[in-house]
Amino acid sequence: MRQGDRLSTTTPVYAPAAAEDLLLGAQLLRRAFLETPVLSADRDKVVVPADSPEPPVLLIHRGVAYQSTALPDGRRTIVDILLPGDIVGVDHAVLRRSHHEIVAANTLGYRLLPPDKLRQLLRDPRIALRAMALASEVSRRTSRHLTVVTRFDARGRLAAMILGLYDRLRRQDLISRPTFNLPLTQEQIADHLGITMVHVSRTLRRIREERMVVIDRQVVVILDIAALRHAAAGLSADEQAAPGKAAITRPEPLIAELS
Amino acid sequence: MRQGDRLSTTTPVYAPAAAEDLLLGAQLLRRAFLETPVLSADRDKVVVPADSPEPPVLLIHRGVAYQSTALPDGRRTIVDILLPGDIVGVDHAVLRRSHHEIVAANTLGYRLLPPDKLRQLLRDPRIALRAMALASEVSRRTSRHLTVVTRFDARGRLAAMILGLYDRLRRQDLISRPTFNLPLTQEQIADHLGITMVHVSRTLRRIREERMVVIDRQVVVILDIAALRHAAAGLSADEQAAPGKAAITRPEPLIAELS
DNA sequence: CGGCTTTTTGATGTCCGTCAATCAGTGTGG
DNA sequence: CCACACTGATTGACGGACATCAAAAAGCCG
């Protein structure tokens, strides 16, 4: 199963009539990225500042980043978490300024495409379709997160977050077992879920005691994925990514590198 | 000031290099819509069901609609509120199924564009750019709303909602004074802001007593817009839409029809 | 070993949810 | 024209989930 299959069969969310073009568009866009060098950023480094003019599009190659917006009172919201393979900011093709800042959560490898280059690529309708699909995916993720944050308590939010990350990592073939690396501090998790750091800590303890998930030192181990899905119940369960109940053996995590 | 100017001067959010194409794309897309008949839906009518296959794109012509997702336990989240002039669902060009359902909040006039027709239009790079811009605008609104909902208390959320609607209506030239029609029940407002109906009622009373905003029977009258902006402080204040302090004279509201 | 960040835990308060009853407005039909 | 039903809004009492404040413990690194 290579890149192509993934798009058309494993995630059948796209219109059949557009599938072929989308596939080609994805390849073309990827090719354009591959002509750019892999850049690197350390933890907490701001890769794309907020309000930066002519913001680039980026492809996460390795590591984790997040998009955030700051409020004048010093608080912030982490709007989205970015994983290897994610393409962020396709809308930068049309925007004068970026809305969010993009920050490396750990050591990050990424590629940049300047916006005029992207605009040029978008002249190809297949790439344009692909860009729409990428934008749509982000938008779907955001609105899902919105639902989580408005309707779930801290436990449900945590469950939904972990499950969401797990499913995304699975879909990208970056992990095969229910355990992975999550390079976020509890404060960052708090800023993502709209609760306080203190409450994140307490809630983590709770779900650990429930033998649902163990999160220790940025390593996530899902113990009972059924319970996890139950706790995050009601979310469009995508497609059930894992067929059977996950019985973990040894925690041997870490997010793999993107090909 | 007609349609064109608005895009380039009144809302200078788009990249200069793309401005001209965006403008043309907007015109072309609009033209395509204008070839379709104006349909009509009554209050509470589901215009686009959730999960509907081959979902169309729509242009709101008159009235207000909202996008929502239901949870299995019967609760729902109203993700976005749609006003006259809004184009919703450009990502339906690539999706096999719609994510949200779209419901008329009051008597609604709208136009539909089937997805294959949109795909065909997207072959024109200018329209593709315009579609990206539309998607970007929705995404910006959603993430702003996410920030509001995660960081503000009920009073702040209400303030942000009212202010957001006010600014959008102003920008579309649908109102000129700080008063407008909001055809949502308190329960719908609650589902949008992630609080309960009961608490919406209490909070409305509170901001009324503070002489900030009066909302009675679906008519919103902003009494002190400075206080409102202060209560919703910290949001990217767009451009300050109203230059001076709004001193209302007579409440004479109602959302105008789109040309 | 300091000095730093990150996590943990306790005590206390509050915003908001839940439950429940009442009220106002609108429409319906006898 | 007045019951009647129905939806939407209002208000009170009470409890709980989460925030805040504060301090200490645990990692981490030079």
Please tell me which residue lies nearest to nucleotide D26, judged from CA to C1'.
Answer: A217
CA distances from B248 to A184, A190, A239, B25 (A): 48, 41, 53, 38
Residues of chain A contacting residue B139, judged by C-beta atoms under 8 Å apart: 91, 135, 138-139, 142
Predicted local distance difference test score (pLDDT) of residue B233: 78
- In terms of DSSP H, where are the helices of chain A? 3-5, 16-34, 115-121, 125-151, 154-171, 186-193, 197-209, 225-231
Q: How far is the CA of A28 from the C1' of D26 (A)?
A: 49
Query: Residue A96 CB closer than 7 angstroms to strand C?
Result: no
Side-by-side strand order, sheet with A46-48: A46-48, A101-104, A65-70, A76-82
Contacts 24+ apart (CB under 8 A), B183-187: B183/B43, B183/B63, B183/B64, B183/B105, B183/B106, B183/B218, B184/B64, B184/B66, B184/B81, B184/B105, B184/B218
Tokens of B164: 């957001």
Can you state the angle between helices A125-151 and A154-171, rounded to 10 degrees?
160
Closest CA to A25 of A123, A115, A172: A123
- Residue B197 is predicted with a pLDDT of 96
Residues B56, A156: Cα–Cα separation, whole Å: 33
* pLDDT tens, N- to C-terminus, chain B (259 residues): 444 444 444 456 777 777 788 889 999 999 999 999 999 999 999 999 998 898 999 999 999 999 999 998 888 999 999 999 999 999 998 888 898 999 999 999 999 999 999 999 999 999 999 999 999 999 999 999 999 999 999 999 999 999 999 999 999 889 988 999 999 999 999 999 999 999 999 999 999 999 999 999 899 999 999 999 999 875 654 444 444 344 433 334 444 444 3
Phi, then psi, of A138 in degrees rounded to 5: -60, -45
For B140, the closest chain A residue by CA position comes to A99
Interatomic CA distance for residues B35 and B59, integer angstroms: 12
Instruction: With CB atoms and an 8 Å threshold, state whether B143 touches A116.
Output: no
Task: List bases, strand D, within 7 Å of protein CB.
Answer: 8-13, 17-22, 27-28
- Chain B interface test: which of A150, A193, A230, A236 (most B C-beta within 10 Å): A150
Give me the residues of B, 138-167, that contact A with CB < 8 A.
138-140, 142-143, 145-147, 149-151
- Pairing type for strands B101-104 and B46-48 reads antiparallel
The per-residue pLDDT for A251 is 38
DSSP letter, residue B6 = I
Q: How far apart are CA A122 and CA B130, in angstroms?
A: 11
Residue B162 to chain A, least CA–CA distance (Å): 18
Q: Please list the pLDDT of chain A residue by residue as tens digits (259 residues).
A: 444 444 444 456 777 777 788 899 999 999 999 999 999 999 999 999 998 898 999 999 999 999 999 998 889 999 999 999 999 999 998 888 898 999 999 999 999 999 999 999 999 999 999 999 999 999 999 999 999 999 999 999 999 999 999 999 999 989 988 999 999 999 999 999 999 999 999 999 999 999 999 999 899 999 999 999 999 875 654 444 444 334 433 334 444 444 3
